[in-house]
Homo-oligomer: A and B are copies of this chain.
Amino acid sequence: MMNGNAAEEKEPFRPMDAEQLRKYGHKMVDFIADYYKSIEQFPVLSQVQPGYLKDHLPNAAPDQPEEFQDVLDDITKKIIPGVTHWQSPNFFGYFSASGSIAGFLGEMLCSGLNTIGFNWITFPASTELEITVLDWLAKLLNLPEKFLSSGHGGGIIQGTASEALVIVLLAARDKILGRIGRNSMDKLVVYSSDQVHSFLKKSCQIVGIHSRNFRVLQTDASSSYGIDPRNLDQAIHDDMEAGLIPFFLCATVGTTSSAAVDPLVEIGQIAEEYGMWFHVDAAYAGNACICPEYRHYLDGVEYADSFGMNPYKWLLTNFNGSCLWVKDQRDLVNSLGTNPEYLANKISRENKFVDFKDMEIPLGRRFRSLKLWMVFRLYGAENLKEHIRNHIKLARQFEELVRSDNRFEIVCPTLFSLVCFRLLPRNEDDGGYELNSELLDAVNSTGKLFFTHTIISGKYIFRFSIGATLTEERHIRESWKVIQNQATIISRKFTLQSKN
């Protein structure tokens, strides 16, 4: 491919010829447009068996080039069957990957320019657009002034919320150790609810917080799975009595299991009182807070040292890119800054612009602000709000469908677009695990929709998460029918089993 006619005299190898890029680029655009056109025909959850691909591929790279069409055919025949279709309107698993044309075009141009803009001079527009766009988003979210770029605060796009959490935890660690001395490392204590994402524990492991100092505050239905401030206060008090040092509190707005919201005002005040770093992770539900009617879930963010949300979860911005704001960027730079001579330049030296490389783990960085900027401009804030509201409306409709069938129950309040429900078991011996996990497998195996589960308070719960860009009311209704039908089959089987 892309190298003239093999039969001719050997031509120089030209892997970046503008006209070939045009030709094959158009073909790939058509391939992707056709994919979206036919996306509902694929089983949402890939139906392949583990190890399926091995037999389809040679065990070494080819020595000679192959034709583009052959590769495209292989993508259709070998790769696509192994895709779980996150962009399908019937994808309701995890939290969604919110794609759009604008996000796709932004990603395309990003790879086309193929820059590595780790500091200002390596790509001035990348640094400056990132600052601008994160100010835009901060304003849409009505974040406190301290998170805007005008002072010492500001935003930066990390890869994912995990990376964002690692670096704020690190900055908080180094900030307090700088005050009290490195020897106190093993006294540092981190707090969160038991609903916090597993990556908090992982982040603690990475930056060396002792596992026995990771406080997981139990939650239950009485506080809608948010942290009870009294429990937090008590835990801090106990730890200080024991000679430990509380230094980091992670709150969640929209937990992974049930989209629960921690009470930011109350626990933020506690964090302030004890001088702890307060991080608010709103990876999913933060997106909804661009709508004024949901903004109150962020009340209390004014106590936060850092705040993060992922536009790729709901705001039509193709994966990846996690937006992180801190009230003082210098805290990140203190922990992550480097200054080798081979990257030195006048602009960095004069501190005219922060080098984003000094506020993240990777050195090299992609031009991720571009797609976010294109999403804002090509859709406008009003449409983005409409998009969020539409998904929340669909979630309410789905919740109504579940409520109308008394075999099922809604387990948690539907605050956003995640509906938590389950098929009521005969008894609670296993928290409904066997019955519901079998139902989940049965539904997902149909290929007609895909959703996932969690366990809350010992109960096996379905997570039906609406967020795929293409999802409309008909997909909700048809998916519900599939779930109902499979429930009938599974329930009958369980009844028969219990009779035998």
Give every chain B residue within 8 A of A114 (Cβ-Cβ). 86-87, 97, 99, 103-104, 318-319
Is A281's CB within 8 Å of the partner chain B? no
In the complex the two chains form, is A61's CB within 8 Å of B136's CB?
yes
In the complex the two chains form, is A256's CB within 8 Å of B319's CB?
no
In the complex the two chains form, is A63's CB within 8 Å of B353's CB?
no
In the complex the two chains form, is A25's CB within 8 Å of B20's CB?
no
Q: Mark A1-40, 1 if CB is under 8 A from B, else 0.
A: 1110000000001011111111011101111111111000
> Which listed residue (B25, B198, B361) contacts A162, Cβ 8 A?
B361
Report the bound CA distance from A54 to B101 in whole Å: 26
User: Which interface residue of A30, A83, A161, A335 has the most chain B CB atoms within 10 A?
Assistant: A83
Closest residue to A111 on the B side, CB-wise? B107
> Which listed residue (B33, B128, B319) contacts A116, Cβ 8 A?
B319
Closest residue to A386 on the B side, CB-wise? B13
In the complex the two chains form, is B160's CB within 8 Å of A363's CB?
yes
Report the bound CA distance from A335 to B45 in whole Å: 29
Q: Which of A202-210, A218-226, A232-240, A265-273 contacts B (4 or more CB under 8 A)?
A: A202-210
| Smallest CB separation, A48 vs chain B (Å) | 5
In the complex the two chains form, is A101's CB within 8 Å of B17's CB?
yes
Using A51-B128, A125-B53 as known contacts, say yes or no to A25 and B33 having CB atoms under 8 A apart: yes
In the complex the two chains form, is B123's CB within 8 Å of A82's CB?
yes
In the complex the two chains form, is A208's CB within 8 Å of B208's CB?
yes
| Smallest CB separation, A379 vs chain B (Å) | 5
Q: Which of A87-139 contact B (CB under 8 A)?
A: 87, 93-94, 97, 99-105, 107-109, 111-117, 120-126, 128-129, 132, 135-137, 139
In the complex the two chains form, is A338's CB within 8 Å of B198's CB?
yes
State the main secondary structure of chain A at its contact with B: helix
Give every chain B residue within 8 A of A31 (Cβ-Cβ). 109, 112
Is A60's CB within 8 Å of the partner chain B? yes
User: Which interface residue of A70, A102, A135 has the most chain B CB atoms within 10 A?
Assistant: A102
Using A116-B97, A342-B256 as known contacts, say yes or no to A366 and B33 having CB atoms under 8 A apart: no
Q: Mark A318-342, 1 if CB is under 8 A from B, else 0.
A: 1110000000000000011011111
The number of times this chain is found in the oligomer is: 2
Using A86-B114, A105-B24, A111-B108 as known contacts, say yes or no to A19 and B2 having CB atoms under 8 A apart: no
Report the bound CA distance from A34 to B21 in whole Å: 10
Is A494's CB within 8 Å of the partner chain B? no
| Smallest CB separation, A362 vs chain B (Å) | 4
In the complex the two chains form, is B112's CB within 8 Å of A104's CB?
yes
Report the bound CA distance from A210 to B185 in whole Å: 11
Give every chain B residue within 8 A of A35 (Cβ-Cβ). 112-113
In the complex the two chains form, is A62's CB within 8 Å of B376's CB?
yes
| Smallest CB separation, A88 vs chain B (Å) | 11
Give every chain B residue within 8 A of A170 (Cβ-Cβ). 205-206
In the complex the two chains form, is B45's CB within 8 Å of A121's CB?
yes
> Which listed residue (B59, B115, B340) contacts A86, Cβ 8 A?
B115
Give every chain B residue within 8 A of A242 (Cβ-Cβ). none
| Smallest CB separation, A131 vs chain B (Å) | 8
Give every chain B residue within 8 A of A123 (Cβ-Cβ). 46, 82-84, 86
Q: Mark A335-360, 1 if CB is under 8 A from B, else 0.
A: 11011111110110000110000000
Is A407's CB within 8 Å of the partner chain B? no
Is A429's CB within 8 Å of the partner chain B? no
Closest residue to A117 on the B side, CB-wise? B84
In the complex the two chains form, is A99's CB within 8 Å of B353's CB?
no
Q: What would 24 A/B residue contacts be, using CB atoms closer than 8 Å?
A: A13-B383, A16-B101, A22-B29, A24-B101, A24-B105, A25-B101, A28-B105, A32-B109, A50-B120, A52-B124, A59-B132, A62-B381, A82-B123, A82-B129, A84-B124, A86-B123, A94-B342, A103-B114, A198-B338, A206-B206, A256-B340, A319-B364, A319-B366, A344-B453
A-B interface, 10 closest residue pairs, ranked by CB to CB distance from nearest: A82-B125, A208-B208, A25-B29, A22-B33, A32-B112, A107-B111, A53-B128, A99-B114, A15-B100, A198-B340
Extra 9 A-B pairs, beta carbons < 8 Å, given A15-B379, A63-B381, A79-B370: A13-B383, A46-B124, A50-B347, A50-B352, A61-B136, A65-B378, A71-B374, A86-B116, A94-B343
